[in-house]
């Protein structure tokens, strides 16, 4: 009897969790940009551990393609701010970058240990792994550790609850690219380390392409009519790492953050130290 119950439960979970048919029925009619299969049905191999490509841009601080280091924060020529978004960006106090205010940062990831969300997570020195299944691609991050589910050839729900990582659907394109379409973000995360804001209207398109065995590229379009006047592009380069995945859990702890601040940063803030 117990075995029968376990088998039944497993079967039910499998059907309700992974069946595209059931998901499609549950989903409403809003068809996302990545919701339909197009091009070749060949599935690209995204296996491996992918870290920021140190020879091609590195980790970076900003999503601005022209200002990856964040030195022109608020005045980048490739970010089409709405006035409030520019003011909001300039009002933030970053914890890293060219002019960090670690002692008084407003970075919600640092002060509250909130999830960085996407694409912010790609501006961390951590690796990412893709688990490809017929129904979904699971994107695993060493930070958190967090993971995202990209439902393949599916649809966004009609009324998405705003959440930290949004709702993602995707498909393969041209036999070499994974296209991910995400909506349903909350507005609590920064887009990057430089404090660029977004609203719940953000619609993010990610295109992951393995250009060769050791390099992966991500092209993004950030479309947020609530914060920016038009969609704008960003880009990240990744390199294959062979040192192992998640050998240490990069977990955010407010207690550990406070300890670190007290030990190494707080004494360095302000005027000359007492002798």
Distance between CA atoms of 133 and 111, rounded to whole angstroms? Answer: 36
Measured from the CB of residue 249, what is the shortest distance to other proteins in angstroms?
8
Nearer to other proteins, 45 or 103 (CB): 103
Nearer to other proteins, 134 or 270 (CB): 270
Measured from the CB of residue 68, what is the shortest distance to other proteins in angstroms?
5
Nearer to other proteins, 17 or 262 (CB): 262
From the list 121, 114, 227, the residue with the least C-alpha distance to 163 is 114
Nearer to other proteins, 18 or 257 (CB): 257
Nearer to other proteins, 15 or 251 (CB): 251
Measured from the CB of residue 19, what is the shortest distance to other proteins in angstroms?
26
187-224: burial string, b at 16+ Cβ within 10 Å, e else? ebbbbbbbbbbbbbebbbbbbbbbeeeebbbbebebbb
Contact by Cβ (8 Å): 53, 215: yes
Measured from the CB of residue 272, what is the shortest distance to other proteins in angstroms?
5
Name the residues that contact other proteins, by CB under 8 A. 33, 51, 54, 56-61, 65-66, 68-70, 95-100, 102, 125-126, 142, 205, 207, 217, 219, 221, 223, 231, 233-235, 237, 239, 241-253, 256-257, 260, 263-265, 267-273, 275
Do the strands 177-183 and 136-141 form a parallel or antiparallel pair, or are they unpaired? unpaired
**Token digits for 148?**
């995202």
Q: How many contiguous H segments (helices) and E segments (strands) does the chain have? A: 5, 9
């Amino acid at each position: 009897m117990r075995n029968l119950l376990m088998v039944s439960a497993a079967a039910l979970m499998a059907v309700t969790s992974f069946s595209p048919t059931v998901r499609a029925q549950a989903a409403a009619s809003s068809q996302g940009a990545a919701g339909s299969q197009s091009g070749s049905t060949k599935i690209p191999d995204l296996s491996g551990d992918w870290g920021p490509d140190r020879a091609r841009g590195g980790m970076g601080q900003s999503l601005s393609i022209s200002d990856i280091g964040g030195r022109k924060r608020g005045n980048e020529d490739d970010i089409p701010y709405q006035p409030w978004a520019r003011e909001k960006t300039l009002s933030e106090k970053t914890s890293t970058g060219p002019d960090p205010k670690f002692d008084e940062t407003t970075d919600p990831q640092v002060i509250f240990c909130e999830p960085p969300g996407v694409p912010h997570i790609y501006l961390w020195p951590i690796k990412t792994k893709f688990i490809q299944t017929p129904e979904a691609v699971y994107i695993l991050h060493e930070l958190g550790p967090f993971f995202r589910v990209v439902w393949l050839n599916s649809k966004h729900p009609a009324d998405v609850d705003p959440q930290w990582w949004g709702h993602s659907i995707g498909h393969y394109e041209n036999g070499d690219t994974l296209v991910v379409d995400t909506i349903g973000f909350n507005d609590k995360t920064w887009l990057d380390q430089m404090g660029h804001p977004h609203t719940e209207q953000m619609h993010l398109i990610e295109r992951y392409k393995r250009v060769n065995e050791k390099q992966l590229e991500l092209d993004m379009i950030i479309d947020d009519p609530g914060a920016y006047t038009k969609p704008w592009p960003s880009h990240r380069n990744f390199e294959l790492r062979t040192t192992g995945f998640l050998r240490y859990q990069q977990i955010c702890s407010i207690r550990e953050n406070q300890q670190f601040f007290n030990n190494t940063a707080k004494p360095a803030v302000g005027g000359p130290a007492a002798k």
